[in-house]
Amino acid sequence: MAEPDKRNANDKPHWLERLTHFLLREPEDREQLIEQLHTAYENSVLDADALAMIEGVLQVSEMQVRDIMIPRSQMDVIDITDPPEKFIPFVIEAAHSRFPVIDENKDDVIGILLAKDLLKFYSGKDFNVREMLRPAVFIPESKRLNVLLKEFRSNRNHIAIVVDEYGGVAGMVTIEDVLEQIVGDIEDEFDEDENEDNIIQDSHGRYRVKALTEISDVNEILGTQLSDEEFSTIGGLVVSKFQHMPKRGEEVSFDNLKVTVLRADSRRVHSLLVEVLPPAGDLPED
């Protein structure tokens, strides 16, 4: 006689057991696999976080460094010719753990400085930045992210300088940037499509705006009069209003605008939801 199932009838199978059962029909290609994963999510076999991570793992194997790198223009660097009294406040404000160090310009990266090494400046001993630099790792824009992640892990390196086909610095990438492709937020109806326009109006009259959109374009489409004297992009202006790097879901209001961060990581804002509010005098009375 077969032994009865000892598992309590009220026990729910682990999500991995349910997923394995759901995927018994072997998919023929990647597209079918992704389709099955989404069906599993819709049937509550997977939760949103698990689906996002699995999709991230699949995407990382297809993406290249150029797809996620921090552009050269947005790199926070230290000039070796600057005295510590000048660049240490910048390091504190930027709050990164590692900084590329340049000599004459951003094409001349001579090493990587760890922020924690700057503590030696306050020890009263001889302080020489050049002696503290770690070797910089240079990689091509075309390197696959899964290969880069493996190299980061094996070499215990956390940052790499990206160079273009002519040997010039195109940007930089960190291990955190790669991992965010795996554990980042699952996309929803407000997440941006790189092929879409910079400003898109939704059915509620709000605007989904890419952070790198020029302020002049925002003014033209939204009918606003935002100043572009200090910041050229709407993302730069919004970050200045927060006075810190905002996270997804944070809101700020200014100049009759209500702005919600839709997508951001530890280094920059990617997309915003902008609602144009009526002037204060036009608000309905309670």
Average of per-residue pLDDT values in the chain = 82
Say which residues have a Cβ less than 8 Å from residue 174's Cβ, sequence separation at least 6: 70, 98, 158, 159, 160
Q: Residues 46, 50, 54, CA angle at the centre, nearest 5°?
A: 110
Question: In terms of pLDDT, which residue wins out, 197 or 223?
Answer: 223
CATH of 66-183, one of 3.90.1300.10, 3.10.580.10, 3.40.1190.10, 3.30.420.40: 3.10.580.10
3-state DSSP assignment of residue 219 = helix
Q: Compute the average pLDDT of residues 214-234.
A: 92
74 has pLDDT over 60: yes
Identical fold at 66-183 and 199-276?
A: no
pLDDT for res 185: 44
Of the ranges 7-16, 128-137, 166-175, 204-213, which one carries the lowest mean pLDDT score? 7-16
At 196, the pLDDT band (50, 70, 90 cuts) reads low
pLDDT for res 182: 79
283 has pLDDT over 60: no
pTM above the 0.85 mark? no
86 has pLDDT over 70: yes
Q: Where are the beta strands (DSSP E) in the chain?
A: 70-71, 78-79, 98-102, 109-114, 138-140, 159-163, 169-174, 199-201, 207-210, 251-254, 257-264, 269-276
pLDDT for res 180: 80
Of the ranges 17-21, 119-123, 128-132, 169-173, which one carries the lowest mean pLDDT score? 17-21
* % of the chain exceeding 70 in pLDDT: 82
* % of the chain exceeding 90 in pLDDT: 35
At 30, list the tokens: 């990647």
pLDDT for res 10: 52
pLDDT for res 160: 96
Question: In terms of pLDDT, which residue wins out, 217 or 282?
Answer: 217
156 has pLDDT over 80: yes
Q: Which one, of 84, 164, 86, 66, lies nearest residue 129 by Cα? A: 84
| Domains of the chain, residue spans | 29-62, 66-183, 199-276
Long-range (24+ apart) CB contacts under 8 A made by 243-250 are 245/269, 248/185
pLDDT for res 184: 61
The domain made up of 199-276 has a fold known as: 3.30.465
pLDDT for res 174: 92
At 24, the pLDDT band (50, 70, 90 cuts) reads low
Range among 27-31, 140-144, 282-286 with highest mean pLDDT value: 140-144
3-state DSSP assignment of residue 91 = helix
